[in-house]
Structure 1
């Protein structure tokens, strides 16, 4: 089957539009006609080879669309269903069996290897293999053969043009607050970085009733959006001392939770330093493999603070994404305040807008 795709060909190089061949469905896959897909920072760092998915590749991992065919072993969805696409997992390892698919023993292979588990790729161009199944989907294309475990069925009445980012970025930020940290009503939390992931975390913190919600960023326009999403305080770390401001905001008590979405070691160190007694700092940024950070452990020993890393918001997508949709319906998770739509043909402009901070969450519409 001939389809149109935006292909990543080399680091820091614009995506190239090509007609590519899509192969037959595997028994555990569904064919999805893409309606829309989000643009995520992870797509950019894989294109630039921070993580080694083989190029050329069709990336994209926040897809939403309609099922047009199902493999012989698929029973969870059927032709005509509206779906949001999320991360893939094996469903067979200990982590998957215990409800932690984001920590699947085969997570890297299922999401970054550029092939199916058997080594095949669903895409080819002029007889040359093109990496496919990025996060089980490769949604920067008009159609995709998608791993069934990446598929989340949603109500057909919903706007698929808006829901794709729930599959990764928004799920990750909101899940970090609701699932991983279990932030409770009355708690205090700071979110470092107010891109899509950080904004999702802010919305989730407001939804669960946190009463001190601090947003930290370098861009004033993003901080203004953070206030609209529920932040009670904002700090521009370019012009203010973050630690001093948080000490003032908390009356010297420190914070219950801090969440770093940047992956910058110095930011993560600050996020740990501003914790209160018994606090938790979490990392959901994506630093390059091998990145290290130092923590002060002598004077802070009496705090009993904790550090943890988070993938995909510790979510089971088929459970958590419908929960986020319900919050959106209730006005507690206003996705539309983060997004701007671009035609699929404008994918490179969408990436530029994301990189510059002009747009928090670009969505490509087919």
Structure 2
């Protein structure tokens, strides 16, 4: 079928909305009419080839939409269902079998390879030539998307469908980083470095978990203001203090937990130094491949501090996304306050506003629910 897709042709280029051809779904696949899709920092990382998904490519990995057609072996969804598309995984490796699909042994191949891992084909082509079209198992910067049964999550139809796409990556990453990975105790303290959509989702999750000190750290004042609205008990702008670590230690005596969402190694180092003894740092922010950070082993790590890496909030999307929807329904997780909508044709403006900090979470409206 013929679709409209935002194609990235070259490193550092712009998203060009063009015609493309989408195959029929294979036996384990699902055809989705895309209603909305979030714009995420990971899309920009691939645009700039910090992660080497082959170009040209159709990116987009926070899609929501309506099931149009299912493959012969698909049993969990049917045409007409509302779904959120999340990350893909093989479903068979030890991590997947242990309900930790975000740590799938073949995560990179399934999400950044640009093709079906099982046969190396892509469902998207232009002028008879295949282009990368399996980004995070969906490539949702398009009017229609092919996903797998594994990475589509059915949702009820009483919540705005165009809102739900970011639950597939950024929102579940921040919330899951707190709820699933760090699992802070009630009454504990946490510092969240970065107040984008991931960091602010973590702020809301820390409030849900009962943290009594929630410190949001960011350079952009309007984001810190939003953090206070969403549950932060304190904020810190590094531009307004001489030393971030010293300021954090003076305010808290060292936090029990910290979450690093920026992907900047120097910030990860500051986050480690902000911990109290036996504190835990979760690292979510994704820098370019091969990026290194350094830590004082004697004064930091040997004093009981620990560092854990987090992918996709260590979430099982089939379980966690419905949980987040229910929290939203109960007005305990108002992630809609992070969202600004754009028409599909405004994708470049959405990217620009995201990178400048003007918009926290851009969502492209692609079709009617």
Q: TM-score over 0.5 for the alignment?
A: yes
Deviation at 1:145, TM superposition (A): 1.1
Contact preservation (8 Å) 1:40, 1:169: yes
Q: Paired residue for 1:244? A: 246
For structure 1, which runs of at least 5 residues remain unmatched after alignment? none
Q: Paired residue for 1:19? A: 19
Q: Paired residue for 1:143? A: 144
- In the TM superposition, 1:1-366 aligns within 5 A as 1-117=1-117, 118-240=119-241, 241-250=243-252, 252=253, 254-300=254-300, 303-366=303-366
- 1:348 and 1:301, CA in 2 relative to 1: closer, same or farther beyond 3 A? closer
Q: What is the aligned length?
A: 364
Contact preservation (8 Å) 1:203, 1:230: yes
Task: Give the whole-Å Cα distance in 1 for the aligned partners of 2:70 and 2:330.
Answer: 33
Task: Give the whole-Å Cα distance in 2 for the aligned partners of 1:364 and 1:133.
Answer: 19
Deviation at 1:337, TM superposition (A): 1.1
Bigger shift: residues 26-35 or 291-300 = 291-300
Offset from partner CA, 1:273-329 (integer Å, 9 cap, x none): 111011001110011111111101122355201001000000000100011111111
Contact preservation (8 Å) 1:277, 1:302: no
Offset from partner CA, 1:155-179 (integer Å, 9 cap, x none): 0222111111000000000000000
SS in 2 for 1:225: helix
SS in 2 for 1:149: coil
Task: Give the whole-Å Cα distance in 2 for the aligned partners of 1:12 and 1:341.
Answer: 24
Contact preservation (8 Å) 1:87, 1:135: yes
Task: Give the whole-Å Cα distance in 1 for the aligned partners of 2:275 and 2:184.
Answer: 14
Contact preservation (8 Å) 1:39, 1:62: yes
Deviation at 1:330, TM superposition (A): 1.4
Offset from partner CA, 1:233-257 (integer Å, 9 cap, x none): 000011213222212221x2x1100
Deviation at 1:4, TM superposition (A): 0.3
For structure 2, which runs of at least 5 residues remain unmatched after alignment? none
TM-score by length of 2: 0.97
SS in 1 for 2:323: helix
Task: Give the whole-Å Cα distance in 2 for the aligned partners of 1:275 and 1:204.
Answer: 19
Deviation at 1:18, TM superposition (A): 0.8
Task: Give the whole-Å Cα distance in 1 for the aligned partners of 2:43 and 2:235.
Answer: 28
Deviation at 1:332, TM superposition (A): 1.4
Contact preservation (8 Å) 1:30, 1:70: yes
TM-score by length of 1: 0.98
Deviation at 1:128, TM superposition (A): 1.8
Contact preservation (8 Å) 2:24, 2:31: no
Task: Give the whole-Å Cα distance in 2 for the aligned partners of 1:332 and 1:57.
Answer: 37
Deviation at 1:42, TM superposition (A): 0.2
Contact preservation (8 Å) 2:25, 2:146: yes
Report the RMSD for the aligned CA atoms in angstroms: 0.9
SS in 1 for 2:280: strand
Runs of 4 or more off by more than 2 Å in structure 1? 299-303
Task: Give the whole-Å Cα distance in 1 for the aligned partners of 2:258 and 2:246.
Answer: 15
Deviation at 1:35, TM superposition (A): 0.4
Task: Give the whole-Å Cα distance in 2 for the aligned partners of 1:2 and 1:298.
Answer: 60
SS in 2 for 1:244: helix
